[in-house]
Structure 1
Amino acid sequence: MSPADQPATAKRRGRRPAGEDTRTALLDAARSVFAESGYEGATVRVIATRAGVDAAMVNHWFGGKEGLFAKAVLQLPFDPKDIVAALLDGDVDSLGQRIVRTFLTNWDGAGRDGFVAVVRSVTGHDEALKLLKDTLVKYIFSGLASAVSANDREFRAALCATQVVGIGMVRYVIKLEPFASADIDTVTAAVAPTLQRYLTGDLS
């Protein structure tokens, strides 16, 4: 550590290490750039430039743009690529159950605030709507549908999104009882068959 980084005076007490400062600067810059440009329009170089750091720091701290997007904007406790891989790791016929259980487990825990913040913003902020659509439809459900569905993949992905966003809206924003306080097993048993049909069943 250089002398400049050492907490030598009371005035500088509590200063984060340089590495943590870099991570925080990237998160702040990413929130701004993703809001302005959306996931596809934002680039690692633009985010890093706005944060005042080298673009390689994005890979170092977050593994790439997708991981940074998840942490900075939606504050998901997972990377979208990881959640798709985890959901696909199992019997296809129980995929609907894994989807519902996974989202409820995360949203009942650390992921709730990020989800609610986005949902509350979608009616008045196009950026929030785009962020929600990009994550759920374009990366998670499209990835699942591409892996397990023989046809109508885009439509199936959109149907899945309506179901999962609806669960989140009713459970965490509207807080409609008794759904809001129902345990995860009860909700999974009730909703999973619908998601399963959306992904692998007959839509006609």
Structure 2
Amino acid sequence: MRTTDDQPAGGKRRGRRPAGQDTRNALLDAAREVFSESGYEGATVRAIAARAGVDAAMVNHWFGGKEALFARAVLSLPFDPQTLVGTLVEGDVDTLGERVMRRFLTVWDATAGGAFPALIRSLASHDKAAITLRDYLIENILNRIIARLESDHPQLRAGLAASQLIGIGMVRYVAEFEPLASADVETVVATAGPTMQRYLTGDLGLPRSNYDADRH
């Protein structure tokens, strides 16, 4: 069924949305709800647009697609994942861990964690929230970074890197453990960056049999 600005899929008329920023904000609000309910994979552009009461084409118009909308609505990341990966892997591979940590902390600090605290709080009781975070952070960012590096054990490395980001985020924005909660970004980067670097490119200390059997 074709949708219009004043008749979303499902046929329920909500009235024409004002153009411009109101449409964009309506999509962000709707996306937070739909991603929370359905997870990243289950959420569709059509469903989000219907919830917002706008045409599905507005998602591409304002955000360029579902990935970028998720980044803005749920993770509060003001960048496209594919562009982000390209930016992060440029430069010295030995400082990649610092760049990853710095980028996420800088963005999250600017919004006091954005929607990240709510997403983290829902992990224990809402399976779809965990799937949402996994699908986006691991599948769309960390797996892509590690694929560029051609490192061994890519899935294990992506999971370990995600644990570092989520752990720092939880302590800094949810539990607010001091002094980490109020530490400046460069202090966190200097102390946590080396661990992130090891997860991405370093020796994981695995038994040789595991190393030989599972290089990819």
Query: Aligned equivalents of 2:184 and 2:27: distance in 1?
Result: 37
- The equivalent of 2:56 in structure 1 is 55
- The equivalent of 2:73 in structure 1 is 72
Distance 1:54 1:175, change over 3 A: closer
- The answer on whether the counterparts of 2:31 and 2:69 sit within 8 Å (CA) in structure 1 is yes
- The answer on whether the counterparts of 1:31 and 1:72 sit within 8 Å (CA) in structure 2 is yes
- The answer on whether the counterparts of 2:75 and 2:114 sit within 8 Å (CA) in structure 1 is no
Deviation larger for 37-46 or 89-98: 37-46
Q: What percent identity do the matched residue pairs reach?
A: 60
Q: In the TM superposition, what are the counterparts of 1:46-195 in structure 2 within 5 Å?
A: 46-110=47-111, 112-195=113-196
Distance 1:143 1:178, change over 3 A: same
Task: Give the number of aligned pairs.
Answer: 189
Deviations 1:143-175 (A, max 9, x none): 111111322111100000111111111122222
User: Deviation of residue 121 (structure 1)?
Assistant: 1.7
- The answer on whether the counterparts of 1:77 and 1:111 sit within 8 Å (CA) in structure 2 is no
Query: Aligned equivalents of 2:120 and 2:40: distance in 1?
Result: 17
Aligned residue type for 2:81:
P
- The answer on whether the counterparts of 1:149 and 1:200 sit within 8 Å (CA) in structure 2 is no
TM-score, length of structure 1 as denominator length: 0.83
CA RMSD for the aligned pairs?
A: 2.0
- The equivalent of 1:35 in structure 2 is 36
- 3-state SS, counterpart of residue 121 of structure 2: helix
User: Deviation of residue 31 (structure 1)?
Assistant: 2.6
Query: Aligned equivalents of 1:88 and 1:40: distance in 2?
Result: 26
- 3-state SS, counterpart of residue 18 of structure 1: coil
Deviation larger for 143-152 or 104-113: 104-113
- 3-state SS, counterpart of residue 163 of structure 2: helix
Distance 1:26 1:174, change over 3 A: closer
Structure 2, unpaired ranges of 5+:
1-16, 207-216
